[in-house]
Chain A
Amino acid sequence: MRTIGYIIQKEFKQIFRNKGMLPIIFILPILQLVILSNAATYEVKNIKFAYIDADRTSTSRSLIEKFNASSYFDVLMDLPSNKMANSAMLAGEVDVVLEIPNHFERNLIKEKSATLGISINAIDGAAAGLESVYINQIIQGYNRDIRVSLMDTSHRSIKPMNISSIPSFWYNTSLDYKTFMVPGILVLLVTMITLFLSGMNIVREKEIGTLEQINVTPIKKSQFIIGKLFPFWIIGMGLLTIGLILAKLIFNTPMLGSIPLLYLYTSIYILVILGMGLLISNFTDTQQQAMFIAWFFIVIFILMSGLFTPIESMPQWAQIFTEINPIKYFVEVMRMVLLKGSGLQDILPQLLKTLAYALVMNALAVWSYKKVN
């Protein structure tokens, strides 16, 4: 025990003496949380909108007025021709072009229907999809109004029939993306920092030659590994604490569930990450190699974690793959506990899988750590 205690003490001394490392451990994650949570949004705002109004009637103007009133669209210009619209789109000046054809009003009154042309810049497919939904909503709303006003005069007997659904959004009533993102980004911080630090740590001793000196001492593998990794476990828990405080103070993230439960889960989760870091350390010779491998895994795990894109929309094989992604479980648990107020019973499947993962990872890591070549 005394040996482990001394190694831990030594690790902490080294971490706090490394002037370049301290800000990386504590300042960068905070910056990331603040910046990413504000920037990583699914909402598409300030869509650059232009229109070609070939009709120039009060009906067409009121349609454009609808777009003007929406906070999603910036109505930028009135283009005289299709050709100009194309070149503006090509130059990236506009994202959406609405084309109101000639005789739009007349067709609406006479034939009860009219067509509109909409072109959307779809380089970013997800954004284009959203834009299309917004446009449809506006046009549908407009449709309802126009039907009422147009029909009122001619067919008094026919009342417009409308079935409307009123959705109620649970757990995030205002559909605030920050409520959704902050817990996810918190996961990212805890994971990245602990994986990078633990992955580079033992390899660093290899690089500077101290590992050779350690290996000729009678110290046990387990003592050394626990002594080396425990400080990063503490740092991981510390990061979670800082992250939760910031989430509450800056983003007012709801915290419905039990915070001790979250700590319990995180304490097991960090073991998975530390085991992974140690495994990377064992198979690399330099910090550079360790860093690249850690990055490789982090990028795959993050993109397939359901943090940014829902797992349900991934192809079947990818969904199966996410089963071995520890970040996925942590993202789920974090969101469940904070936003839904889930209890131990609810997160038990994730908890057990993570625990099994931690055992396997650490067994592999300890087994592959060799004092002798």
Chain B
Amino acid sequence: MGISLSNIDKSYKKQIAVRNITFDVNPGELFGLIGPDGAGKTTIFRILATLLLPDNGKATVAGLDIIKDYKAIRNSVGYMPGRFSLYQDLTVEENLNFFATIFGTTIAENYDLIKDIYEQIAPFKDRRAGKLSGGMKQKLALSCALIHKPKVLFLDEPTTGVDPVSRKEFWEMLKRLQKRGITILVSTPYMDEAALCDRIALIQEGEILDIDTPQAIVDKFPKDIYNVKADNMYKLIQTLQRYEHTYSVFPFGEFVHYTDKRVTFKTEELQHYLESSGLNAITIAPTHADIEDAFMELAKK
């Protein structure tokens, strides 16, 4: 009763949007689609939400075929597009009422499901949706997507453009919804959010790179990884890229993530090389790979 896609292809004119997408989401799972902008995440959502017909392949949502049973799917999924798409000139309450009505239900009927979320925006229920802050808009959109008690929830980049505190709150809400048995497919360009999913699919340029639990994906990372820091970040990256033994260099917050080509690698050697290149205040320390490193590694191939 989850979601299942097999060999889905979709092109817009000659531009391939997604190619040979196959994955399954188990019922009650929180599944993440992780990839940069333009990877094809939204296309997958639009196909599953019955807004777009795939060129090839089959897909089911909650056991229903996306082409044959599209009407039944529309009754049992909640879709939150990436762009805020509620009526900005209607109030919070009017928006919620509107969506409840067109799904043939009422707010009262399913209030317990959205109670947690709606209570946070209830003080502003007479405010027009266009006048809400980014975080509150997301909560309202989520409430509207949940008002008909969907079995499956599609969230296309729900936290893009939302502040870190609201993002954290939002993910906590998703975890609570998951406990109520709702299958959730969520996409995000933020790698730190990926770790919060049960399983993730990494996608790039319309193709899936890997599907696994976040931990397993990180564990597959083949190299030892080091945090490197120096007084001049820009120069550090350039110097490391010129280094003959460098396997990969990526800026990562205040550090640079570095991996070496050799099996046996001594940090002193690198320290020496960097010092001789005129960098100061150098620290080199082993660290754990995370999803971003894994993604970069997979994207390289």
Question: Complex Cα distance A218/B64, Å?
Answer: 15
Q: How far is the CB of A210 from chain B (nearest CB, A)?
A: 5
Classify chain A's interface size. 20 to 34
Is the C-beta of B70 less than 8 angstroms from some C-beta in chain A? yes
| CB neighbours of B74 from chain A (8 A) | 216-218
Q: Which residues of B contact A209 (CB under 8 A)?
A: 81, 83-85
Instruction: List, in ascending order, chain B residues with CB within 8 A of A2's CB.
Output: 101
Is the contact region of chain B dominated by helix, strand, or loop, or is it mixed? loop
What residues of B have a CB within 8 angstroms of the CB of A10 in the complex? 87, 90, 94, 98
List residues of chain A with CB within 8 A of the CB of B81.
209, 212-213
Q: Does B33 contact A (CB under 8 A)?
A: no
Q: Which of B47-55, B110-118, B166-174, B281-289 contacts A (4 or more CB under 8 A)?
A: B47-55
Give the secondary structure class of A's interface.
helix
User: Does B165 make an interface contact (CB < 8 A)?
Assistant: no
In the assembled complex, the CB of B131 is this many whole angstroms from the nearest CB of chain A, namely 12
Q: Chain B contacts of A3 at CB under 8 A?
A: 101-102, 104
Asked whether B280 is an interface residue with its Cβ less than 8 Å from the other chain, the reply is no
Among B50, B53, B83, the residue within 8 A (CB) of A216 is B50
Chain B, interface residues (CB within 8 Å), range:
20 to 34
B90 lies within 8 A of A212 (CB): no
Q: What's the minimum C-beta distance from A1 to chain B, rounded to whole angstroms?
A: 11
Q: Do A14 and B77 have beta carbons less than 8 Å apart?
A: no
Q: Name the CB-closest residue of A to B84.
A: A209
Closest to A10 in B: B98
Given contacts A215-B51, A218-B74, A218-B75, contact A6 B98 (CB under 8 A): yes
Query: Which of chain A's residues have a CB closer than 8 A to the CB of B31?
Result: none
Select one of B77, B79, B101 contacting A213, CB under 8 A: B79
Shortest C-beta distance, B279 to chain A (Å), equals 49
Which residues of A in the span 53-82 have a Cβ within 8 Å of any Cβ on B?
none
Per the bound structure, the CA–CA distance linking A371 and B70 in Å amounts to 11
Residues of A1-57 at the interface with B, using a CB-CB cut-off of 8 Å, are 2-3, 6-7, 10, 13-14, 17-18
Give A213 to B145 CA distance when docked, in angstroms.
9
Q: Does A123 contact B (CB under 8 A)?
A: no
B 72-109 binary contact with A (CB < 8 Å = 1; else 0): 00110101010111111110001001110111100000
Contact of B70 among A13, A18, A208, A372 (CB under 8 A): A372
Question: Which of B52, B71, B102 counts the most A-chain CB atoms under 10 A from its CB?
Answer: B102
Whether a CB of chain B sits under 8 angstroms from the CB of A126 is no
Collect the chain A residues with CB atoms within 8 Å of residue B85's CB. Answer: 208-210, 212-213
Q: Does A360 contact B (CB under 8 A)?
A: no
Task: Output the residue of B49, B50, B86, B89 with the most chain A CB within 10 A.
Answer: B89
Q: Are A6 and B102 in contact (CB under 8 A)?
A: yes
> Is A373 on the interface with B (CB-CB < 8 A)?
yes
User: Once the chains bind, are A216 and B104 in contact (CB under 8 Å)?
Assistant: no
- Establish whether residues A13 and B94, one from each chain, have CB atoms under 8 Å apart when the complex forms: yes
Q: In whole angstroms, how far apart are the Cα atoms of A6 and B83 in the complex?
A: 24
A208 to B99, CA, bound (A): 16
How far is B105's CA from A2's CA once the two chains are assembled, in angstroms? 11
**From residue A223, how far is it (CB to closest CB) to chain B in Å?**
8
Which of B233-265 touch A at CB < 8 Å?
A: none
Residue of A nearest to B71 (CB): A218
* Chain A to chain B contacts (Cβ below 8 Å), 10 pairs: A3-B104, A6-B101, A6-B102, A13-B90, A210-B85, A213-B81, A213-B85, A216-B79, A371-B51, A372-B50
List the 9 closest pairs (A to B, CB-CB), nearest first. A209-B85, A6-B101, A218-B74, A213-B85, A216-B79, A209-B83, A219-B102, A218-B75, A216-B49
Other contacts beyond A2-B101, A210-B86: 6, CB < 8 A: A6-B98, A208-B88, A209-B81, A218-B71, A372-B50, A372-B53
